[in-house]
Amino acid sequence: MAIDKNARYLESHEYAKPEGELMVIGISDHAQAELGDVVFIEFPAVGKELDKGVVFGTIESVKAASDLYMPISGKVVEVNEEVKNDPSLVNKDCYGSGWLIKVAPSKLSEFESLLDAESYGASIGEV
Partner 1 sequence: MSFVPHTDLERAEMLKAIGIASIEDLFSDIPEHLRIEDLALPESISEIEAIDELETLASRNVKTKDMDWFLGAGAYYSYIPAVVPALAGRGEFLTAYTPYQPEVSQGTLQAIFEYQSMTAKLLGMSVVNASHYDGATALAEAVLMAWKARENRNRIFLPKDLHPEYSQVISTYCTSFDIEFIRYEGDPGQVAIDEDTAAIVVAYPGFSGQFYPVSKASDKAHEKGALCIVQADPLMCAIFKSPGEQGADIVTAEGQCLGNPLNFGGPYLGMMGTTDALIRRMPGRIVGQTKDKFGKRGFVLTLSTREQHIRREKAVSNICSNQGLSMLQTCIYLATLGKNGLQKVARLSYDKAHYAAQLIDSISGYHVVPKLFFREFLVETPDAAAKIVEALNKKGIVPGLALSRYYPERKNELLICVTEMNTKAQIEKLAVALKEAAK
Least distance CB 86 / partner 1 (angstroms): 16
Q: Kindly identify the residues of this chain, within the stretch 28-67, that bind partner 1 according to CB under 8 A.
A: 40, 42, 45, 58, 60-61, 64-65, 67
> In this complex, which beta carbon is closest to partner 1, that of residue 64 or of residue 108?
64
Q: Which of helix, strand or coil describes residue 52?
A: coil
Q: Kindly identify the residues of this chain, within the stretch 68-127, that bind partner 1 according to CB under 8 A.
A: none
Measure CA of the first residue to CA of the last residue in the chain; give whole Å: 10
- Cβ–Cβ under 8 Å, residues 105 and 99: no
Distance CA 56, CA 50 (A): 7
CA distances 20 to 29, 79, 113, Å, are: 23, 17, 19
> In this complex, which beta carbon is closest to partner 1, that of residue 64 or of residue 104?
64
Number of residues that bind partner 1 (CB under 8 A): 9
DSSP single-letter state for residue 99: -
> In this complex, which beta carbon is closest to partner 1, that of residue 59 or of residue 115?
59
Residues that bind partner 1 (CB under 8 A): 40, 42, 45, 58, 60-61, 64-65, 67
